[in-house]
Chains A and B, each alone.
Chain A
């Protein structure tokens, strides 16, 4: 269970989250929707532990553990995974090396045995095939020269390898055409399980046609303004975020 209580977060002295409360039980998928500037990405970053996001009040617990007391790598080891809106390009780091380093770092931190190279490659090959990732892509430097769709598929591949219990998807559909959205969503759906919680952050309802959430929350001006079932997303598609302080598109 993810429990966020009265979360206040400031960036460069400006308050972005202003008392956010959220409960996400294991096994469920919740969507966070909201207008631009409402604090969606801030929530994603603060959950993952990015520097520069100052928590001025409130708490975040994952399965009873205080996330705010952990650095980003410890959060990853305890099951938190953020799929980035804009995955970083790192020339000079082979994608394969990165994936193996990350997988084994997390396994080690969890007290599991590290995977040997052949075992890792077997696992990688299987997961990559499921996401229709060309093995040639894995030999390139991390995310360098990847298309938007390849980058997002690579994020989901990392998610599959690191076996997280809390997945946060930050605008995973942005910049993708409909086929790419479908492939990514299938990858995400394959990872849905009763042991895993997912927080899907999105501006548009489109992604939620493919990843159907249990609950939808509307974030507005740093707080959850409204919560409801999947039908709330459809309603927002009709009305836009006008009632939440943004002019309809």
Chain B
């Protein structure tokens, strides 16, 4: 006889279901059947899956079920005043002052008073807040929301879809090219402990070209559970540079997922930079749906104390002749833990695939830990795929070389860490953005380089 195995439900697991039940009627788009239907199916999926735990391979090193002990109430829009100084405090000067079309979301609410909506519209980009879109969706949104490179087995995504209450939807029409990046600020103004659940949708039509920076930071100090999803669809010959900058405070749980679908002869250049949050999980699910395309998903993370940062990638080559590159650099001090899981799947028929992946850690203390798990699943025979992982300490010979040139030890060590991170940052083509992230890593190190 087979016994049914039903896992015991934790308090937090149940609390999310309760949260949904209580909020359902008040969530944006509640009156719209297509929205209610999306949410209802998502919460059912979550109920069946539960919170992910270490016995699920994809969550082996990040046991969310044991780490999440409660479900915080959904964030409420407060309309609180936010100054430029607040943004600089939250993001650091270099990122806050980036020359960009700025969109500011406070606790998930798109704030027209802080955003350059007019400028972005004039530049040819359609933009609508998620709240508005769930009530009166443009056709292009309804056809895509919750439908781009969906992942059925991910309860974090299911929860997001069920509870989404903030975010923006952007569309760059055929051939639209922007002169400056779009900077999407996710600010935690810190009025109260909350779950902030946002979902963005970014569509690039044929030949469009965009640089999108998502930044996450706060001026508060309350607990935050963030579940942020961005869905991205890149059309034929379109190009998206997609950067994430996360420096949230140490009471934040940051769950971030990018769902990406890439069309023919298109380009996706992604970079994730993290120094913040107590626990962060950065997921990128990307698939090639059109031939002749390329992606680069790289990143750098700098962690200390008891921070935990998990990067989990799934790159699917479904069609022939595409190229994927990943380079992640982890700098770990104190008792910090870095996790890298990178999986590349090459479907049968996805011939001439070229995939390369590398994860490297620099351990600054004896107690820091780095776990790396590359996985290649290749079902085609004419492909070039490779992966590598290294973990090491600061090279004493390099350190001596710098010190022998008069650079004091503390500064020399910082320079070597900066160099280690710099190799990944070089993947960012946008110079001002690359410099801003370089300065952010110098900030983390507590040094300044001119």
- Closest A residue to B401 by CB, please name it: A88
Q: Mark A141-162, 1 if CB is under 8 A from B, else 0.
A: 1000000000000000010001
Contacts of B415 in A (CB 8 A): 93, 98, 101
Interface CB pairs A-B, < 8 A, 24: A48-B400, A49-B404, A51-B396, A72-B403, A73-B408, A75-B404, A81-B404, A82-B404, A88-B397, A88-B398, A90-B398, A90-B401, A92-B418, A92-B420, A100-B450, A101-B411, A101-B415, A102-B406, A102-B407, A105-B406, A109-B406, A158-B405, A162-B405, A162-B406
Complex interface residues of chain A between 72 and 104 (CB less than 8 A to chain B): 72-73, 75-77, 81-82, 84, 87-88, 90-93, 97-98, 100-102
Give the distance to chain A from B230, nearest Cβ to Cβ, in Å.
29
Q: How far is the CA of A117 from the CA of B449 in the complex (A)?
A: 12
* Cβ–Cβ contact A76 & B404, under 8 A: yes
Contacts of A91 in B (CB 8 A): 419, 422-423
Contacts of A71 in B (CB 8 A): 403, 409
B-side residues, CB < 8 A to A, are 396-398, 400-409, 411-412, 415-416, 418-423, 426, 449-450
* Cβ–Cβ contact B407 & A101, under 8 A: yes
Contacts of B411 in A (CB 8 A): 101, 105
Q: How far is the CA of A109 from the CA of B397 in the complex (A)?
A: 23
Give the distance to chain B from A50, nearest Cβ to Cβ, in Å.
5
Q: How big is the A interface, by class? A: 20 to 34
A32 within 8 Å of B (CB atoms): no
Q: How far is the CA of A88 from the CA of B394 in the complex (A)?
A: 14
* Most chain B CB inside 10 Å of its own CB: which residue of A91, A92, A141: A92
Q: Which of A73, A97, A158 contacts B403 (CB 8 A)?
A: A73
Interface SS, B side: helix
Q: Which of B396, B401, B406, B423 contacts A77 (CB 8 A)?
A: B406
Q: How far is the CA of A75 from the CA of B421 in the complex (A)?
A: 29
Interface SS, A side: helix
Q: How far is the CA of A82 from the CA of B415 in the complex (A)?
A: 20
Contacts of B407 in A (CB 8 A): 73, 101-102, 105
Q: How far is the CA of A49 from the CA of B405 in the complex (A)?
A: 12
* Cβ–Cβ contact A76 & B400, under 8 A: no
* Cβ–Cβ contact B400 & A50, under 8 A: yes
* Cβ–Cβ contact A97 & B406, under 8 A: no
Give the distance to chain B from A173, nearest Cβ to Cβ, in Å.
20
Contacts of A117 in B (CB 8 A): 450
* Cβ–Cβ contact A76 & B406, under 8 A: yes
Q: How far is the CA of A75 from the CA of B402 in the complex (A)?
A: 12
Contacts of A75 in B (CB 8 A): 404
Q: Which of A51, A92, A102 contacts B405 (CB 8 A)?
A: A102
A-side residues, CB < 8 A to B, are 48-51, 71-73, 75-77, 81-82, 84, 87-88, 90-93, 97-98, 100-102, 105-106, 109, 117, 141, 158, 162
Give the distance to chain B from A63, nearest Cβ to Cβ, in Å.
17
* Cβ–Cβ contact A72 & B404, under 8 A: yes
Q: How far is the CA of A165 from the CA of B425 in the complex (A)?
A: 38
Beyond A76-B404, A84-B401, A97-B449, whether A92 also contacts B421 by CB under 8 A is yes
Give the distance to chain A from B41, nearest Cβ to Cβ, in Å.
47
Q: How far is the CA of A223 from the CA of B406 in the complex (A)?
A: 29
Q: How far is the CA of A98 from the CA of B450 in the complex (A)?
A: 10
Known contacts A76-B406, A98-B415; 4 additional CB pairs below 8 A are A73-B405, A84-B404, A102-B402, A158-B405
* Most chain B CB inside 10 Å of its own CB: which residue of A100, A101, A162: A101
- Closest B residue to A158 by CB, please name it: B405
Give the distance to chain A from B424, nearest Cβ to Cβ, in Å.
9
- Closest A residue to B329 by CB, please name it: A92
* Cβ–Cβ contact B406 & A90, under 8 A: no
- Closest A residue to B422 by CB, please name it: A92
Give the distance to chain B from A3, nearest Cβ to Cβ, in Å.
21
* Cβ–Cβ contact B396 & A73, under 8 A: no
Contacts of B422 in A (CB 8 A): 91-93
Give the distance to chain A from B304, nearest Cβ to Cβ, in Å.
20
* Cβ–Cβ contact A92 & B398, under 8 A: no
- Closest B residue to A106 by CB, please name it: B406
Contacts of A51 in B (CB 8 A): 396, 400
* Most chain A CB inside 10 Å of its own CB: which residue of B397, B403, B415, B450: B403
* Cβ–Cβ contact A105 & B401, under 8 A: no
